[in-house]
A and B are shown apart, each in its own frame.
Chain A
Amino acid sequence: MALLQISEPGERLQQPDVPKRAIGIDLGTTHSLVATYMNGAPNVLEAVGESGLLPSAVRYLEGGAVEVGHPALRAYTDDTANSLISVKRFMGRRAQEHALLDLERVNHLVVKDGLPYFQTVQGDKSPVEVSAEILKALRVKAEAELGGDIEGAVITVPAYFDDAQRQATKDAATLAGLKVLRLLNEPTAAAVAYGLDQLSAGQYLVFDLGGGTFDVSILKMERGVFQVLATGGDSALGGDDFDAAITNWFMRAQGIEQPDIPLLREIQQAAKLAKEQLSRVEAVAVSVMYQGQQCCETLTRECFFSLIEPLLQRTITICRHVLDDAGLEAASLDHIILVGGSTRVLSVADVLKRAFDSVPLNTLDPDRVVAQGAALQADALVGNKRDDESALLLDVTPLSLGVETMGGLVEKIIPRNTAIPVTRAQEFTTYQDGQTAMSIHVVQGERERVEDGRSLAKFALKGIPPMVAGAAKVRVSYQVDADGLLSVSAKELTTGVESDVQVKPSYGLEAAQITRMLKESYEHAQEDVSHRMLREQQIDGERLWLALNEALLADGERLLSEKEYSALALGLDDLRAAVEGADIDAIEAEIVRVNQASELFASRRMDESIQHALTGLSLNELSDEMQKESE
């Protein structure tokens, strides 16, 4: 068969032979980092004279300017309304949640629709907007150092983040003008960085204690695959809570009862400093100015350890639960890996050593290892490595996903620690004669009662034809993608009435809101909005053309009939013509058409690839694998 209509790619469509620039971002509670893979290693990008750790602090200035990092942190105790830290703890949360109590008292908040906003000179800012400023600063830094546009970013999130917190993080990235390649769980990212050269096959527990979040993941590492067996944690437990423990101790000792925000922030910062110093010295003085006097208390290591002991016991209890979920005994772990700046607190390693009789491993910098793992994964995802050079990461959902049933109870549809991506469905029926609608309430969490879990979304399936109670069959399907994000659909099976929702949890931002904010930010940056949008559409079209053209040349003749082949080739020509033009709508229409037209080809290629995978597992290889497993 002749190669039909496939012309050489035009200059614009030529794929350059240089590696694509992709970055990994650790968006932390206290610090944020950006890293990229270059010269054979994942490197944290750091400007000269800086450590690469950007304080996750944002300050809004009068007149529209925004400061991120050290300058914002320096203004923290003086400019209390406009200087913000630890905003990650607010992500995806409602106001007055228990997890926020210590933080709400140090911020000027306003509550709208149950959601917290920071009141600044530039208006009320949501946690998503504030986080977007940090991500934007990192993006700009990466663009400057790498010299050009970024193909995409892997952004890490605590493994124990729920759907709302993940979605909020993804929204912040979109708002910062970043294309998210994947949301990656922080302990998994750390394991990737360690796995590169430090660890052999085995079972590992990653203990990740950050500024505001705590994660435990147990991974089984094998050749080519890192499989998360179970994960758990507390998305409101971290170094900030150590600071709060010292703060409360200090106020009790000094008899300070009703501190205002500036004083509270000052004590909080003094507490943080004391905590850090206690990793080096036996005792420190905590001191602040109060009512015109210098107030001072001595904090010993011993006293500090007893203050945080209950918090550390909580982490150990969580570790034990996760071991249980993974079906493992502590003795069968090959190593415990320490990640996160708060593991620098000396008693953390001690408590772990006592509980599990194992010396924790911290050969890689606990502050950098997550960003490094994210950079490695970003590099793999943009295709700079062959598949067999990078490990496949198989992760799990941290929290059960369920639906409300009669009497306010939760029926679990996807239990926690299920491997993702995953699709599960459950059938429900009507409970009244003639019922024409069914409301579906999506809930996340381990508790049995709806009010104890996190409400993610509510929607209604309408238009069910009237039937007797129990005759309708409503199938509710839950799908969790590789980012850990949920979408839900419902369908009445006897009639086919259908309803889809992308679960946009009740924390706030609508897709339209994000688009508007993005547009405003472009306008603010005085970029030509329509030009930028056209360019993005063209890039999408080019990507599709390149990928399909390559696939067609490789497998087209073998897997498609002559007719199918020429139809697809013609479609590609049309796409190319559209991409070379300047009509956004035309490009979009062609992209949709080509995507649809390539469905059959895509599925045949997948079938063939799987056949290869299975036949490729020759008996030799299999027995080789088994040998390893049984060792």
Chain B
Amino acid sequence: MSNAQLSKNYFELFGFPIDYDVDLLKLHACYKAIQQRVHPDRFSGQPEQQQRLAMQWASAVNDAYHVLKNPLSRSVYLLALKTGDDRFLERVKVSSEFLFEQMELREALAQLHSRAQAVEFEERLVDRVRRQEAGLKKLFQQIKVQSEQGGELESVAQTIQEYRYLSKLLEETQSKLKASE
């Protein structure tokens, strides 16, 4: 495929710097502006070649928007870009401290007996996820100013893994809460 722009990364696609911080309102505005130009509905009745291209573009823009919108998927994508390795994240080991926290949280979740307790646990998790996100943001800022070294990327990877785990646990807790309504 001889298409220079389609092979750009998701940040470049929207004309953004390759960075963890993304202005979500600007992202949404750019998403709409590009979809307005590339969506297959704009090429109905056009030559087949053009329609196929429109579909590739609209798919890529949908995916890019989806990945960049969410801080977790954005950080996973950014780490893969920085390391040039899709599997870097999965190879890094979780710290033993976090394994310990993980067990503790699981136990706490299993021992919730009342709705009030569940609500309290959920609030605690929301706060924990927020702190994790802030920590991740700080780490990405540090790599930006310092020269990028393997060790730092590893701690980014660990932070992302923890973040992913915590987000998933929060989701589970919330769906349990919903179900108990």
Contact = CB atoms under 8 A, between A and B. Distances in A.
* Pairing of A with B: yes
A626 interface: yes
B84 interface: no
B66 A610 contact: no
In this complex, which of A393, A481, A603 has the most chain B Cβ atoms within 10 angstroms of its Cβ?
A603
Nearest to A621: B29
Interface string A620-631: 011001100110
B71 to A, nearest CB: 15
Interface string A576-614: 000000000000000000111011101100110110111
Nearest to B15: A614
B58 A421 contact: yes
Contacts of A544: 47
B11 interface: no
Interface size class of B (residues with CB under 8 A): 35 or more
B44 interface: yes
A270 interface: no
B45 A606 contact: no
B47 A548 contact: yes
A625 B36 contact: no
Interface of B: prevailing SS: helix
Interface stretch (B1-9, B125-133, B134-142, B161-169): B1-9
Contacts of A479: 55, 59
A225 B31 CA distance: 11
18 contacts: A225-B36, A382-B45, A392-B41, A392-B42, A418-B62, A419-B65, A422-B59, A423-B59, A547-B47, A602-B50, A603-B3, A606-B38, A607-B3, A614-B30, A617-B29, A617-B30, A626-B26, A629-B28
B41 to A, nearest CB: 6
Interface of A: prevailing SS: helix
A201 interface: no
B81 interface: no
Interface in A498-530: none
A40 interface: no
B90 interface: no
A598 B49 contact: yes
Contact of B41 (A422, A482, A598, A609): A482
Contacts of A420: 62
A612 B37 CA distance: 9
A617 B33 CA distance: 8
Contact of A613 (B36, B41, B46, B63): B36
Nearest to A154: B44
Contact of B34 (A152, A547, A614, A630): A614
A481 B39 CA distance: 11
A269 to B, nearest CB: 41
A622 B2 contact: no
Contact of A607 (B5, B33, B58): B5
B55 A383 contact: no
A62 B26 CA distance: 65
B106 interface: no
A595 B5 contact: no
A222 B44 CA distance: 23
B77 interface: no
CB-CB nearest 4 A-B residue pairs = A381-B44, A419-B62, A482-B40, A613-B33
B178 interface: yes
B32 interface: yes
Contacts of B53: 602-603, 606
A24 to B, nearest CB: 14
Nearest to A181: B44
Nearest to A396: B62
Given A548-B47, A603-B3, A610 B59 contact: no
Interface string B18-32: 000000011011101
Interface in B54-94: 54-60, 62-63, 65-66
Given A225-B36, A423-B63, A607 B55 contact: no
Contact of B39 (A383, A394, A598): A394
A421 B62 contact: yes
Given A394-B39, A606-B38, A610-B38, A382 B44 contact: yes
A622 B26 contact: yes
Nearest to B48: A595
Contacts of B39: 392, 394, 482
Interface in B83-128: none
A433 interface: no
B14 interface: yes
Contacts of B28: 629
A195 to B, nearest CB: 15
A387 interface: yes
A182 interface: yes
Nearest to A601: B49
Contacts of A421: 40, 55, 58-59, 62
Contacts of A609: 37-38
B173 interface: no
Contacts of A418: 62, 66
Nearest to A592: B48
A607 B49 CA distance: 14
A420 to B, nearest CB: 7
Interface in A405-437: 418-424
Given A423-B63, A481-B55, A482-B55, A182 B41 contact: yes
Contacts of B49: 595-596, 598-599, 602
Given A225-B36, A607-B4, A629-B25, A602 B59 contact: no
A606 B36 CA distance: 12
A602 B50 CA distance: 6
Contact of A543 (B30, B34, B45): B45
Interface string A537-558: 0000001100110000000000
A381 B2 CA distance: 27
Contacts of A602: 47, 49-50, 53
A224 B4 contact: no
Contacts of A49: none
A543 B25 CA distance: 39
